[in-house]
Amino acid sequence: MRSNLFDEANLETQSPDRWAIQHHKMLKVTLGEPVLAAKGSMVAFQGDVEFQHKSAGSLGKMIRRAVTSEDTPLMTVAGRGEVFFADRAKDVFLVELEGDGLSVNGLNLLAFDATLDYDVHRVKGAGMLSGGMFNTLIQGTGKVALSSDGQPVILDCSQVPTAVDINAAVCWSANLQPTIRSSMNMRSMLRGGTGEAFQYLFHGPGFVVVQPSEDAPSEATNGTSGSGGKGLIGDLLGG
């Protein structure tokens, strides 16, 4: 049998690294220590691997998940073997945290080391009209895998204020505290709006990663396939 399907570029990546980019749209993790991943993001695995619902943990985290839109349903992936993760053919990137942190849009969070600390934080100035913006702050030492819907651009926020569509922001420096900027006005609303109602506004030492797509929560399927989410009730029951 012959086909360009069997080209070397499509063969499994052989890497000594525990976290490896299989290709730019797929992540390969060799299990030892468990990892946390977005539910539904596993596309294949080899070996003895188990997937379990990850509860929110503390009561504070459960309450925040219950009232925020930044509820990224997670699963614990443990065992021995190799697991492949992807999200709707998005580009995949690895970030190595070295005792520092990263703020991540939950829709772009693919997987991370279970030893890392994470929590949900509310963006300053976010109200009901803006959807109550929240992000996931990940801190510690370990790997984080992110997805981007297309090749991203990294913007320096230290020189001038930088505004980013809330659905186009992939992640940003943990020290940055974005606020919500509104472009709405009555005249524009009466004429049908511009489609550019709210943005994150960044200013200070640090960066923001922007994808060339506005991946709205209603369009996202990450975390809704596979084993599915149990929500707050599942968190309260711890499974």
- pLDDT, residue 173, reads 97
- pLDDT, residue 134, reads 77
- pLDDT, residue 60, reads 52
How far apart CA 121 and CA 64 sit, in angstroms, is: 8
Q: Which of 108, 217, 106, 213 is nearest to 165 (CA)?
A: 213
How far apart CA 238 and CA 175 sit, in angstroms, is: 32
**Residues 172/136, Cβ–Cβ less than 8 Å:** no
- pLDDT, residue 223, reads 43
- pLDDT, residue 130, reads 42
**Residues 213/149, Cβ–Cβ less than 8 Å:** yes
- pLDDT, residue 181, reads 82
Domain boundaries, the chain: 17-214
Q: Which of 119, 122, 123, 124 is nearest to 137 (CA)?
A: 119
**Residues 136/119, Cβ–Cβ less than 8 Å:** yes
b/e 18-46 (16+ beta carbons within 10 angstroms → b): ebbbbeeebbbbbbeebbbbbbbbbeebe
State pTM to two decimals.
0.80
**Residues 113/143, Cβ–Cβ less than 8 Å:** yes
Q: Which of 144, 123, 150 is nearest to 134 (CA)?
A: 123
Q: Which CATH number is 17-214 given?
A: 3.60.160.10
Distances (CA, A) of 204 to 95, 103, 133, 155, 209: 21, 15, 20, 12, 15
The residues of the chain scoring below 70 in pLDDT are 55-71, 124-133, 183-196, 215-239
